[in-house]
Amino acid sequence: MPFMKGAIRKDEYYVVIFGCGRLGSRMANWLSTMGCSVVVVDRSEESFQALSFEFTGFTVLGDATELDTLKEAKVDKADVVLVLTPDDNTNLMVAMSAKEYFKVARVVARVYDPNNIEMFSDFGIEVICPTLLAVENIKNVLYFIGGDER
């Protein structure tokens, strides 16, 4: 079974992750243990300390908005690009570059402001919105207010 919904099964996926914070580092660690080739890009060398000792991928120190950094990470070879920085504007710029310039089939970006989701989606970028995920989780915790029974 492929690790990505709708993906064709391969022996190994090449994944580039932009942002090595809490989310990016955990995704990198997990994908590495799943046997993927992973490259993590961050502008802060200290961020790479969040990667586990078992992480078998590579790191690229650089600005994700710079074309040379994307080339160094070999985005053109990626099966999947995850854009997980804490800034929607940066995420849109990097995700669009991966999708349009490098022709990456699967680009997933974190979007904090729900008002930006449509803009990302218009470019064929898959979106994860922590704000909306939190709202749904809180609604589930507070199910009793709506009268739903579990």
63 domain-assigned = yes
4 domain-assigned = no
2 domain-assigned = no
Sign of the Cα pseudo-torsion (112, 23, 44, 97, in order): negative
Give the global pTM.
0.88
8 domain-assigned = no
* CATH code (residue 27): 3.40.50.720
- Give the residue numbers spanning the domain of 77: 14-146
Mean pLDDT of the chain: 92
Query: How far apart are the C-alpha atoms of 138 and 126, rounded to whole Å?
Result: 23
Specify the number of domains making up the chain. Answer: 1
How does pLDDT run across 86-132, given as a tens digit for each residue? 999 999 999 999 999 999 999 999 999 999 999 999 999 999 999 99
Query: How far apart are the C-alpha atoms of 111 and 116, rounded to whole Å?
Result: 7
30 domain-assigned = yes
